[in-house]
A and B are shown apart, each in its own frame.
Chain A
């Protein structure tokens, strides 16, 4: 079973609709992230959460919101979807960086392909 699970894997919807993408993890990590991937632009950070009560905007948060329902769950919402939000969305997790510990790598889900018509 996947350690980082994203649902749905594919979604087609219409402009103006509210969309929720969900992410759950069994890795026991404190930190969770949402990215979007666009061709030629790599991945760009939308929101990140270092624990349940700590949520932060990334570089492209406009038009998105998130909810950290539990340590293992982190949802991304598009309140009113628009076509330029069509992209591949990834959730990632990482362990907390302890004092003196090496930098913790991120672990990615398989992505949600979202198309907005």
Chain B
């Protein structure tokens, strides 16, 4: 069984400030980890993924995430927030052997000018 916990259902950041979204997972097998973003009235888009190899993963739009096995975490960061980053972000985990995703509850990001 696998599960994902996202700390904070809402995050407010100022434009230009660091964005940090927290994700912790549990998985009985080595996990594949994902961050997706959802803009209003749209489906989810893949931001980045960790499968194997380098633990620091770079994604689109300046986002990156670091896989820390000892902490069972996969936090998402962006050094400088932009107004266009306002969206809802979902962390997800998948077992290595399959492709079923288990999602966290989501974190809605508000960017203040």
The bracket for how many chain A residues form the interface is: 20 to 34
What residues of chain B lie closer than 8 Å to A94, measured between beta carbons? 99
The bracket for how many chain B residues form the interface is: 20 to 34
A110 near B51 with CB under 8 A, answer: no
Evaluate whether A103 and B43 lie within 8 angstroms (CB atoms) in the complex, with A43-B90, A43-B103 already known. no
Q: Which of B43, B46, B51, B105 contacts A42 (CB 8 A)?
A: B105
Q: Which of B9, B44, B51, B100 contacts A58 (CB 8 A)?
A: B100
B41 near A42 with CB under 8 A, answer: no
Which A residues contact B (CB, under 8 angstroms)?
4, 31, 35, 40-45, 48, 58, 90, 92, 94, 97, 102-111
Q: Which 6 A-B pairs have the closest CB atoms?
A: A108-B43, A42-B103, A43-B103, A108-B44, A103-B32, A42-B105
